[in-house]
């Protein structure tokens, strides 16, 4: 009777461990898919930001400078 109980317990623990492995594996795939989605969204936001933002200060054309000359004093 004890052997049968131990065998049933071992079988039950084996079944639970296999189910747990599948659950953890599925969780890993879900986390990986979420990471890919976050990376994709980040790339989209970054590319949208680059299209909408003005060029950096160093890339802009210099502002025109005007010099005024005073008429000569008499």
The share of the chain scoring above pLDDT 90, in percent, equals: 15
pTM beyond 0.85: the answer is: no
pLDDT attached to residue 47: 86
Would you give the distance in Å from CA 57 to the centre of its chain? 29
pLDDT tens-digit readout, 44-61? 888 887 777 666 665 556
pLDDT attached to residue 61: 62
The share of the chain scoring above pLDDT 70, in percent, equals: 70
Distance CA 52, CA 44 (A): 12
**Coil vs helix vs strand at 3:** helix
Instruction: Indicate the domain borders of the chain.
Output: 2-51
């Amino acid at each position: 009777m004890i052997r049968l109980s131990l065998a049933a317990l071992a079988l039950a623990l084996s079944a639970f461990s296999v189910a747990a492995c599948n659950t953890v594996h599925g969780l890993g795939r879900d986390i990986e898919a979420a990471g890919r989605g976050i990376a994709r969204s980040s790339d989209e936001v970054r590319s949208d930001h680059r299209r909408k933002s003005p060029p950096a200060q160093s890339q802009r054309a210099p502002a025109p400078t005007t010099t005024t000359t005073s008429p000569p004093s008499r």
